[in-house]
Amino acid sequence: MTRREQAEIQADRITDWTSFHDVFAEVFGFPGFYGRNMDAWIDCMTSLDAPEDGMTTIHAPKDKPLTLVISNASSFEHRCPDVFNAMLACAAFVNGRRMETGERPVLLIATVS
Q: Which CATH architecture has domain 2-112?
A: 2-Layer Sandwich (3.30)
Residue type, 85: N
The Cα–Cα gap between 112 and 41 comes to: 22
Amino acid at the residue 78: H
Model pLDDT for residues 48-103, shown as the tens digit of each residue: 999 999 999 999 988 899 999 999 999 999 999 999 999 999 999 999 999 999 99
Residue 66 neighbours by CB under 8 Å, 6+ apart: 4, 5, 6, 7, 48, 49, 58, 59, 60, 106, 107, 108
pTM flag (> 0.85): yes
Q: What is the pLDDT of residue 10?
A: 97
Residue 23 has pLDDT above 90, yes or no: yes
Q: What is the mean pLDDT of the chain?
A: 95
Q: Tell me the percentage of the chain whose pLDDT exceeds 70.
A: 99
Q: How many CB atoms lie within 10 A of CB 68?
A: 21
